Amino acid sequence: MAEAISPLDPDNMPRSPGATYQDLLDTDTHEVPEVLREQSPKFLGNADVAVTRYTSREWHEKEVAHLWRKVWQFACREEEIPEPGDHIRYDIANLSFIVVRQNDGSIKTYPNACLHRGRMLKEFDGRASELRCAFHGFAWELNGDLKDIPADWDFCHVQKDEFGLPEIPTGTWNGFVFINPDPECGPLDEFLSDLDRQFQRWDLSKLYISMHAAKVMPCNWKIAQEAFCEAYHVNGTHPQILKGLGDCNSQVDIWENCARVITPGMTPSPLVGDVPDNEVMRAMLDVREDEPLPPLPEGMSPREWSATMARETLREAAPDLVDVYCDAELVDSIDYTQFPNFHPWGAFNRIVYRFRPNGDDHRTCIMECFLLMPFSGERPPAAKVRWLEEDEPWGKVVGFLGQIFDQDSFNMPKVQAGLETTYKPGITLATYQESKVRWLHHKLTEWVEDAS
């Protein structure tokens, strides 16, 4: 059984010495919204988490049966299928679905399997006026009604009005399309209610995909995902940004189906003590020692300077937000996770991650990064996914952030390898800093273990 969630008094959670995130918010030059003032630490126990969750085939198969076949999951963005007939293939573990834009603008999802002899209906994304199978030519309308059976004199036993494509639950949230393979599932808005409450101020539906990159990573999907669920590893994995990232100041908040870690930017880690402003800037702007830094106006902190620069970039595309966003919304990493694998960042940094098993292989996974951008005028077309080869760095497509991903990626196969050989049956997590990882496993216990 999952241990019951018990909220702890924020003052009693173990916390790093030095300023808290809330202390930093007190220095903001603009009004800080309530959503950032909220604190929701949760103590979910300190028990080790079984290594078999990352290594065993049996656990993977339980995950497929009780999680991936049952849960609401992010399939695509709405702007990837803007016109009637646009369809996208979404695969999860050994399942495949086609998400199809309808003539009336709504979206339907079908299992990606022909009702004749089962061939996958669509192997590629694209635009079509009908859904026709390439094997013998059975065809369905976009809305799933049967359209054509070649040589139908030979199929008198088929009831045409009962031979429509089965539909699976589909819904949208903030421009994201969610599907659920389980026709008996609960409502999407209930499942997303915590996340939705958090994003009232940040409208992601008005954005478009300006970059989408994907890569097969040689590790279980949770190893890759968990590398982005805490800032505790910054000291060990990204020491070059310690002077400009308040890793230990991070705030971790846990609700029922979503959680977040907020890590402040342009402020030194408590681990390195006082750092001159120019060194904070150099660390975060990735400026070499022999290159000049942009000038920091007298009396302005690096956080304030960074927020000012971000306001300039918003001025054209989203002028209404320029003076609304506080410094923290423009500078900090506000990294949300909606169970099980959807990670939209809040506020200005419009990054979205997704991690999922790579087909039916539990020792590899697909990691994706989307960048969402505001636009003025007509919505630009969504960027197509760019698949990185095994040895291609993230830095090639995601810039400075990509260099950070490459450092994270370097650990992943080594974590898998270590877990395959360890004599210790469980991994041990920090009480506070790794509580989002703990929460993920708490949810997995509920969905996968308790259900089987």
Binding to ligand FES by residue 137, rule CB under 6 A? yes
Pick the stretch among 114-122, 225-233, 363-371, 389-397 that binds ligand FES (CB under 6 A): 114-122
Give CA–CA dist 276/408, Å, rounded: 27
**Residue 127 in contact with ligand FES, rule: CB under 6 A:** no
Could you tell which of Fe ion, ligand FES, none binds residue 408, using a CB distance below 5 to 8 A set by kind? Fe ion
Residue placing its CB nearer to Fe ion in the complex, 16 or 27:
16
Identity of the residue, 117 or 197, whose beta carbon is nearer to ligand FES in the bound complex: 117
147 binds, among ligand FES, Fe ion, none (CB under 5 to 8 A by kind): none
Please, which residue, 267 or 445, has the CB nearer to Fe ion? 267
| Contact (Cβ atoms closer than 8 angstroms) between residue 124 and residue 182 | no
CA dist list (Å): 344 to 114, 174, 267, 354, 433: 34, 11, 23, 9, 19
Q: DSSP assignment of 40-101, as one string?
A: --EE---PPEETHHHH-HHHHHHHIIIIITTS-EEEEEGGGS-STTEEEEEEETTEEEEEEE
CA distances from 44 to 6, 186, 324, 436, 441 (A): 7, 25, 36, 10, 10
Q: Considering the rule CB under 6 A, would residue 110 count as an interface residue with ligand FES?
A: no
The residue with tokens 């088929």 is 158
**Could you give the string, one character per residue 216-245, with x where binding to ligand FES holds by CB under 6 A and - elsewhere?**
------------------------------
Pairing between strand 207-217 and 386-388? parallel
- Work out whether 398 is an interface residue with ligand FES (CB under 6 A): no
Smallest gap from Cβ 85 to ligand FES, in A, equals 19
Cα–Cα distance, 18 to 49 (Å, whole number): 30
Q: Could you tell me if 224 and 159 are in contact, meaning their C-beta atoms sit under 8 angstroms apart?
A: no
What are the φ and ψ backbone dihedral angles of 167, each rounded to 5 degrees?
-100, 145
Q: Which is nearer to ligand FES, 121 or 254 (CB)?
A: 121
Size of the site for ligand FES (CB under 6 A): 10
Q: How far is the CB of 117 from Fe ion (least distance, A)?
A: 47
117 binds, among ligand FES, Fe ion, none (CB under 5 to 8 A by kind): ligand FES
The single-letter DSSP state of residue 265 is B
CB of 113 to ligand FES, least distance (A): 9
| Min separation Cβ 72 and Fe ion, Å | 27
Compute how many other C-beta atoms are within 10 angstroms of the C-beta atom of residue 16.
17
Full DSSP string of 104-122 = TS-EEEEES--TTT---S-
Region 349-408 residues binding Fe ion, contact defined as CB under 5 A:
408
Nearer to ligand FES, 137 or 426 (CB): 137
- Shortest distance, CB of residue 35 to ligand FES, whole angstroms? 49
Contact call for residue 135 and ligand FES (CB under 6 A): yes
Least distance CB 163 / ligand FES (angstroms): 12
Nearer to Fe ion, 167 or 408 (CB): 408
Residue 377 zone, left/alpha/beta (φ > 0; ψ -120 to 50; rest): left
> Using an 8 Å Cβ cutoff, are 365 and 224 in contact?
yes
Q: Which one of 136, 197, 379, 414 is in contact with ligand FES (CB under 6 A)? A: 136
Nearest to 71 by CA among 339, 442, 258: 339
Nearer to ligand FES, 69 or 116 (CB): 116
Rounded to 5, what percent of the chain is helix, strand, coil?
Answer: 30, 25, 45
- Only one residue has tokens 């360890």, namely 422
138 binds ligand FES, rule: CB under 6 A = yes
Instruction: Show the binding pattern over residues 68-107: x = contacts ligand FES (CB under 6 A), - = does not.
Output: ----------------------------------------
Regarding 14 and contact with ligand FES (CB under 6 A), the answer is no
Single-letter amino acid code for the residue at 85? G
Of residues 180 and 251, the one with the C-beta less far from Fe ion: 251
- Contacting ligand FES (CB under 6 A), which of 30, 119, 147, 206? 119
- Name the site residues for ligand FES (rule: CB under 6 A): 114, 116-119, 133, 135-138
